[in-house]
Chains A and B, each alone.
Chain A
């Protein structure tokens, strides 16, 4: 029983990284109609930048995170402004192919700049140590991650529900032409949304640096799970992405515990089932 509870908590912390990755992916799809294959690469870049600022250059942990968000936002801006923007109205296949090309470029680029060896940076001192949960040691940092994830989820929700920018974004998502007609600069808005999605992904990567390996391919490993989450939750649906991330995160934690051989398989199966029964996702319309 304790093991289950403990593993659930582990799953919860994993779910937060997945949520941050999936949130950006689903927002970008909901508003721009683009499925960004390279979204995981932005996650990876977030980790690499944070590692560089914090782990290599000794910058303050919080500042390092902020700087890495800015850096990745710039990368996201470049991707959208100079490449994706030109193929919005075309077959989805070309978007997938283009963003796939980005994965190839970014994956090798990090190898060139940072070398191919996995990095394990140091833990910031105020998060060191463990807490006793059901009699077992649970890292403090993971509790921070769970808290941070929930905090960001609330912030994002407030952003889209209560702010003027959020309202513009939602209007553009549901009717692009109309939004343009009432004076919203769609191009700029789209670039902004894409950059916002990139920031969320980067946050996930950056926050993970002290506890997770920083290596090429970490984004690619998670992007598929992020897809699965967005499918389960409904493409474009933030609430769904959060719930989906909780499901996938805890399932993979339990899967590793209970069905070690097939936990990957299990998650894919869930997605296939959701797609067959309710293709718009559990929260989709």
Chain B
């Protein structure tokens, strides 16, 4: 544990460097990155030790404040999340240093770097906290630093608005979580996680209260439907490396919270599993549909986070069902699938956001309809983004497939159970629908960004970005490929942590899962090798033949420049039309034009009208507030008199 705190302190010191050496920005950036990387390496050591030795580490500081001691500790669940936070955190920080390089002598940039380091440290504390107080403090530190980072471009209206919604939402979430812990304390008399664990099951009447409060509090952070409304705005408004860490890590703390809560509470009631599975399915399907209707690259990616949180919740839901119906393998597989998909999503989503940042940097626009043809101008970014896309769609041979397979395996395994549990098998169809829609969405993104002809002057003059931006993307893409091609290690770590959450010692059936992981690995490697061989053979075959370059075939007409291409909106329109009003998009279609107007079903149709009603009602009592002191004094006197009258008349 000493290593953890030393590492985190080093990272904070690194964060201070740009601020202290404002006049030597080059040097400051180097110190920042070196200290951040070194600190992360040091802090990651105990997590690796926990995973390798299958032990756990713990430290506790007594404190004078109420709400119990400050405890931190690393078990297998924390270790997985800690490594994820440090790895993705450092990758996005390196990118951030490159992204903000041109403005690095500005004070705001130095402050942003400090806050970024602070955010990573806060995230590390959230996932290692072992007591109520330390968790809540780290949680707030994380939320606040993320808020300030989102507001980096605060002079823009869009950013201020998104920041405000995020700020209000995250505090509502913290409030709910605090109430949950207070209730938990009332039920058990404990403040630490070990205490909760020792106490075991709480009273049956208390269980639903804790579960529902946790679901709302952690669900708000995770961005599950219908509590996702803050997410697309905040993720799109932030600078790209901040979007990456928000989508990759910050929302994952909500998942961590849900998993930790499930682990501490023990066997949940069955309705809880069904609720999670239903919410997960809704998040998955609606998230990807809403993503499909977006033309703003970063909003689109943000909605995909809602989708993937849905897949994760489906895994956690079927895992909880496995716990409730005493099916240990289903429980362990579901939780492990949720956990691995959390890791995978953090990796490929931050890769995609970093790629999106590179595209925005190069073209100056987030609008898909104004990009095009970038594969020739930015081949490396295009390749890396493609790796992220294939991974997020859940296709072999990359990592997204492995975790979706685990969730699928849990759902299918649930179908063979003798109990009501088998109804969970319908989740499989939802998973397939989500996958197919994700394919539609990411082929749209790829086509609009990288292929065809440039649709704007900005896209026509785009340049490949620099090594500080490409390096982190290469690292993240390698992780995608590693987990996809050699899933053995990741699957076994996820299974162990998953069984820890599920409270099951599923060891014998795990061998079967590991064998499957081996075969998946074989198929993935075979795929890669066979494609490589096929490329060589094709080149040999074609080498002696007549090959020509000609304009794209357009029925013997010349294509009328780049505007004649299919647009991203037209590409998505048939799919959206099939799903009709659920897709939350307004189509304007006439002979000459197709416009799609995406809106957020929850935010625009529920939250805004509700807020208008509330503020309308509040307007009724606005007359009371006018700023005149003597009238306010009159209010106080009136209140005191009213209280006296109340006491005199109604109290004996």
Tell me, yes or no, whether A binds B.
Answer: no
B contact set with A: CB distance below 8 Å:
none
A contact set with B: CB distance below 8 Å:
none
